[in-house]
Amino acid sequence: MVRTRIAPSPTGVAHVGTAYTALFNYAFAKKNSGKFILRFEDTDVKRNVKGAEEAIYAGLSWLGISWDEGPDVGGKVGPYKDSERLEIYKKYAEQLVEEGRAYKNEGAIRFKNPGEDVSWQDLVRGKVTFPGGEVTDFVIIKGDGYPTYNFAVVIDDIEMKITHVIRGEEHISNTPRQLALYKALGADPPEFAHLPTLRAPDRKKLSKRRDPVELRFFREEGYLPEALINFLCLLGWSHPEEKEIFSIDEFIDKFTLERVRHAGPIFDWKKLEWINGMYIRNMDDVTLVHLINEHIAASVPVTLVEKIAPLAKERITKLSEAEPLLEFFWKEPQMDKASFEEEKAPVHVAAALHTLAGVKSWALAEINKTLESEIQEKGFKTGEFYMTMRIALTGKKITPPINESMEILGQDKVLHRLSDAEKILIS
């Protein structure tokens, strides 16, 4: 049975790169009716961060990536935290010492370099070979009794019966040491697949010190989990039908490691926003109302959000953009005379104020009819007139459809704001 894993270190934030690697492991396991395992490599005690494990659980769960075995759900080959497996590593290390394949040195245990060339058939990159001289003696158990990464990961993967190690290309240089350990222990190694490293737009490696990479950031900014997953699927992999929008289930169905590219994919924020916008536009209004309401900091009646959320659907690419776009519905607009760029703004406002005051039935059709008639009668340029309306009623140049917004604002509020704008313009 295919068994894959993701093994993050709880030493910082829940990183989008972790989600990227987890996604490919998850998809490969599901495609092959296998199991996906989560474990924590937490032996770097000084660097472990409180709350990091919970953040990883929350981030992956938010994205819809679940695991079959792990510290929280258990499994037959646990524990799933390296800090709870110290006796296991000690047993294997002592075995290597007894066989003359490792030796004690200054309180640590070092693996003895076999001096053999090491090669493997990488499922992404083809044949990879390292000269034997590059694998020098290396520490497997540190003086404090904790294993090094290269030792722990091998023992864990043996004990957990991992069949495929799908990870970032930065681990290619670790693979020769790990293969030497598998051979020394008489264990069959898993198959390896090294994914291209995610890169920022400047082509540098995506960095948590420089780039917004925390999964919590994406959630708070209003990226939808389905959209972020869709975007991550396209980083380093291409859909066989060249589709841009597809579900995680479709990704699993179409996924093969053969379609993973070698070149490091660029984390294209504009493309992510485009994909996110597509998911927002395809969302039903009930769900959209709920999500926009979650992203509005102000206390706004749900009945109002139900009316205004659909107006934002075509105009936002992430949910955090909804509040600044829609806040004029519950906040008085801020403007001054300089806000109005149109020369005829005073005339536009006066005409609108006069004609809208006479509307008997405040409904969209009547608002449209009244204003179009006024534009024709006065010879206004439609675009200039409605830009004045936008600024007068919202304080913004980019808004939802302004006539639909007037209908929701109500006649009294529209007339009040137009009156305020007129005072500003003639002051």
CA distance 53 to 43: 13
Instruction: Give the burial class of 25: count Cβ atoms within 10 A of its Cβ; 0-12 exposed, 13-18 middle, 19 or more buried.
Output: buried
CA distance 179 to 307: 61
Q: Are strands 191-195 and 164-168 parallel, antiparallel or unpaired?
A: parallel
Selection from 311, 293, 294, 314 nearest residue 302 by Cα? 293
CA distance 317 to 246: 17
Instruction: Give the distance, in angstroms, between the CA of residue 55 and the centroid of all CA atoms in the same chain.
Output: 13
Q: At how many degrees (to 10) do helices 364-378 and 402-409 cross?
A: 120
Contact 109, 138 (CB under 8 A): no
Instruction: Give the burial class of 350: count Cβ atoms within 10 A of its Cβ; 0-12 exposed, 13-18 middle, 19 or more buried.
Output: middle
Q: Give me the active site residues, please.
A: 208
Q: Residues 341, 345, 348, CA angle at the centre, nearest 5°?
A: 145
Instruction: Give the distance, in angstroms, between the CA of residue 141 and the centroid of all CA atoms in the same chain.
Output: 36
Instruction: Give the distance, in angstroms, between the CA of residue 124 and the centroid of all CA atoms in the same chain.
Output: 24
Residue with tokens 């997953």: 229
Selection from 387, 404, 406 nearest residue 396 by Cα? 387
Selection from 15, 4, 44 nearest residue 205 by Cα? 15
Instruction: Give the burial class of 258: count Cβ atoms within 10 A of its Cβ; 0-12 exposed, 13-18 middle, 19 or more buried.
Output: exposed
Q: Kindly tell me the sign of the dihedral angle through the C-alpha atoms of 275, 278, 282, 286.
A: positive
CA distance 392 to 377: 21
